[in-house]
Amino acid sequence: MQINIDLKGWLAFGLMALGSHGVMADDGEVTPLQVIDAIEATFGVTPGERRNHIKGTCAIGEFVGSKEAAKFSRSTLFSGKPIPVIARFSLAGGNPKAPDTAKSARGMALEFTLPDGSLHHMAMLNTPVFGAAHPRTFLDLMVASKPDPATGKPDPERIKTFKASHPDNKAQADFLSNNNPPSSYANSAYFGIHTFKFIDQKGATTLVRWRFVPHDGEKQLDESALKSSPANFLEQALIKRTAQGAVKWDMMVALGELGDTQDNPTIAWPESRKQIKAGTLSITEAMPQKGASCEKINFDPLVMSNGIAPTNDPILLFRSPAYAISFAKRLGGE
Ligand code: HEM
């Protein structure tokens, strides 16, 4: 299946989901609108802004793909020509004032403009796995995380009940509690998490998972920095770092083997999988998002170039209509 649909198409799809219950990626019972409602109930609404990953920074740069990747995917991402990139780095969650020390996920979203003008998107996290195998788990996490009006914090009992009844949340939650957040967006790896398909010139498919590995090395805040760092340092650190020269990541692609999970983003593949270097991303400039090019982009992960395709991962398929609803609302000033 090849998916290459423009943003207006996905916006229309999201609006369709807004008006109806249970269209396509509804996971049986859970609809994208229900999830957006739950995110809004937990974090509140900041009009005109993203419902999730609200706090972020724009950046620009380019990507150069490798010949090795071109053997597995006919996508022009891997033509070897420099591909312009608009990027957005972010903190997970809908709280615009979340401190940069929060032990939540960090995001890196990329929009590639291919030589023929078409787009390819990736929206990744700094965790190797996701915290939900099905939209139901994500919905229940949002509901359980809603602050108790008496304390302003989530009710610990509800969180306990959520954890006990949703073991698919554990791997990501453990990663986030055992790994302090990165000291800079430039010092983090970012994972595509889902399994995707690479399709070659002859139509042969290879199952893949990718991650972006930073040339600057991975560094986490130590315990004292976690306590003493100000609420906002990530944006300025990235702006300063790019002013000194391009920040680079290698796109490393793991090639799947028989039996590797295709549709469960909570389960990592063994580290022993063969990896190829599929290209290098260079981020050359970063800037606050207000009025910058990343602000009005919907980094829909199903916007893909010919040669890369989605699997049936229910989370991957659910993201697209959920993002479209958030995008439609924020563009409308809601
Ligand atoms: C049920 C699962 C998920 C839901 C409901 C969800 C929901 C959302 C929403 C509503 C947005 C804001 C969209 C916008 O207004 O532009 C968003 C942003 C984002 N999500 Fe997800 N998400 C899910 C899973 C994931 C996963 C698995 C990843 C990573 C593999 C991810 C990475 C991101 C990133 C990086 C952004 C920020 C994009 C940007 O900078 O604009 N999300 N998510």
Q: What is the pLDDT of residue 28?
A: 60
Given a cut of 80, is residue 136 above it in pLDDT? yes
Q: What is the pLDDT of residue 5?
A: 36
CB atoms within 10 A of CB 246: 15
Rounded to whole angstroms, the Cα distance separating 272 from 275 reads 9
**Pocket mutation for ligand 1, best pick of 169, 323, 329 (most atoms within 8 Å of C-beta):** 323
142 Cα–ligand 1 center, Å: 13
Q: What is the pLDDT of residue 27?
A: 54
Ligand 1 touching residue 51 (CB < 6 A):
yes
Given a cut of 80, is residue 15 above it in pLDDT? no
Specify the ligand 1 atom closest to the Cα of 135. 1
Rounded to whole angstroms, the Cα distance separating 210 from 229 reads 31
Tell me whether strands 247-255 and 190-191 are parallel, antiparallel or unpaired: unpaired
Q: What is the pLDDT of residue 10?
A: 40
Those residues whose C-beta lies under 8 Å from the C-beta of residue 289, and which sit 6 or more positions away, are: 56, 57, 58, 88, 295
Q: At 217, give phi and psi (nearest 5°).
A: 85, 155
Contact predicate 221/229, CB 8 Å: yes
Residue with CA closest to ligand 1 atom 27: 130
Given a cut of 60, is residue 84 above it in pLDDT? yes
**Pocket mutation for ligand 1, best pick of 15, 52, 295 (most atoms within 8 Å of C-beta):** 52
pLDDT band at residue 4 under the 50/70/90 scheme? very low
Per-residue pLDDT, averaged over 146-167, amounts to: 96
89 Cα–ligand 1 center, Å: 12
Given a cut of 50, is residue 1 above it in pLDDT? no
The three-class DSSP label of residue 248 is strand
Per-residue b or e along 174-207, where b marks 16 or more CB atoms closer than 10 Å to that residue's CB: ebbeeebbbbbbbbbbbbbbbbbbbbeeeeeeeb
Residues above pLDDT 90, as percent of the chain:
91
CATH numbers and ranges of domains, the chain? 7-331 (2.40.180.10)
- Which residues are the active-site residues? 53
Rounded to whole angstroms, the Cα distance separating 334 from 330 reads 5
Q: Which two three-digit tokens encode residue 121?
A: 């998107």
Ligand 1 touching residue 109 (CB < 6 A):
yes
Specify the ligand 1 atom closest to the Cα of 194. 30
Given a cut of 70, is residue 21 above it in pLDDT? no
Per-residue pLDDT, averaged over 84-103, amounts to: 98
pLDDT band at residue 160 under the 50/70/90 scheme? very high
Ligand 1 touching residue 25 (CB < 6 A):
no
Rounded to whole angstroms, the Cα distance separating 147 from 226 reads 23
Contact predicate 87/283, CB 8 Å: yes
Ligand 1 touching residue 315 (CB < 6 A):
yes
Q: Is the dihedral of CA 214, 298, 244, 96 positive or negative?
A: negative
- Average pLDDT across the chain, whole number: 93
124 Cα–ligand 1 center, Å: 8
Task: Tell me the C-alpha to C-alpha distance, in Å, between residue 258 and each of 246, 273, 311.
Answer: 38, 11, 15
25-65 pLDDT per residue, tens: 445 689 999 999 999 999 999 999 999 999 999 999 999 99
The three-class DSSP label of residue 316 is helix
Ligand 1 touching residue 323 (CB < 6 A):
yes
Given a cut of 90, is residue 325 above it in pLDDT? yes
54-78 pLDDT per residue, tens: 999 999 999 999 999 999 999 999 9
Rounded to whole angstroms, the Cα distance separating 52 from 239 reads 23
Enter the pTM of the model: 0.93
127 Cα–ligand 1 center, Å: 13
SS percent in the chain: helix, strand, coil, step 5: 30, 25, 45
Given a cut of 70, is residue 162 above it in pLDDT? yes
Ligand 1 touching residue 162 (CB < 6 A):
no
Residue with CA closest to ligand 1 atom 1: 135
Contact predicate 297/88, CB 8 Å: yes
| H or E stretch at 110 | strand 106-113
